[in-house]
Amino acid sequence: MNKKESFGGELAKQLPVENIYNDLAHPALSTVGQGLQGITKLALTPISALVWGYDKISDYLDVAIPEYFEKRKIKKEKIISPDPMVAVPIVEAMRYTSHKEELREMFTNLLGAAMNADSIDAHPAFVDIIKQLSPDEEKIIKYLYKDDKQPMMKLRIILDDGAGENDLSPYFSDIGYKVNCYYPQKFPEYLDNLHRLGIVEVYYDRFLVDENYYDELKVHPYFPHVDEKINILEKKSMYELSAFGKKFCEVCLE
């Protein structure tokens, strides 16, 4: 591919553009739809500025990769051409994630590891994992890499008729607030995703021995509070980085 040609342009050549256009244009826009068209076009305009072309990625990597090796004091004799299985997906993914500094740095670290002759840990699966992380999730795993065992709690209502228990709230953790997540209240979603990706292990029937961890959660301003008259059961549990997650962090965060 010519350096001056974008990945988007190359991709467009391979797609049945005319058929796609006809399919999209076939349903005539209603009057309301026509009125919204200008607004939607305007709303989509910033996206074009966020998609990096190969030239911009190349310019960035020309600086970032030498810095990677300089910071780690890796000798130039150890620099090799990366495996295309790792490098090509990284460059492609950077087209639409590089505006997020946290993810851009993770891709840079992974590419640097793939170019280090002494490194054997730049797994191709890491590329897809980074692509499926939000900046908030990156902050969470960075914190877990330093302090990998974390408490969480759920409140359950004990029913008066003896019929059992009902969950009052999702599991609560203060980690999103500690690391200044953009959306700390989305912790349950973030935890599910990190567990799905194999980065985090979740133990719903295990908890930390030190009660101070849970006492700190209960006094947190955003911990769910209920009427004292309601019979409540506090369900303690924990989560931590998996062995795979630790290896991912070693490569992509350090």
For residues 71 and 77, give the distance between their C-alpha atoms in angstroms, rounded to a whole number: 16
pLDDT of residue 20 exceeding 50: no
Dihedral sign (CA 108, 110, 114, 118): positive
pLDDT for residue 32: 56
Does the pLDDT value for residue 183 go beyond 80?
yes
- The answer to whether residue 19 scores a pLDDT higher than 60 is no
What are the structural domains, with CATH classification, of the chain?
Answer: 7-132 (no CATH), 138-252 (3.30.110)
pTM of the model: 0.75
Chain length of the chain: 254
pLDDT in tens, 46-101: 555 666 888 888 888 889 999 998 999 989 899 999 898 999 899 898 888 878 88
Mean pLDDT, to the nearest integer, of 110-127? 91
Cα–Cα dist 219/174, whole Å? 10
What are phi and psi for residue 203, nearest 5 degrees? -120, 100
Comparison of pLDDT for 9 and 42, the residue scoring more: 42
Distance CA 90, CA 221 (A): 40
Reported as a pLDDT band with limits 50, 70 and 90, residue 117 is very high
What pLDDT, on the 0 to 100 scale, is given for residue 60?
A: 87
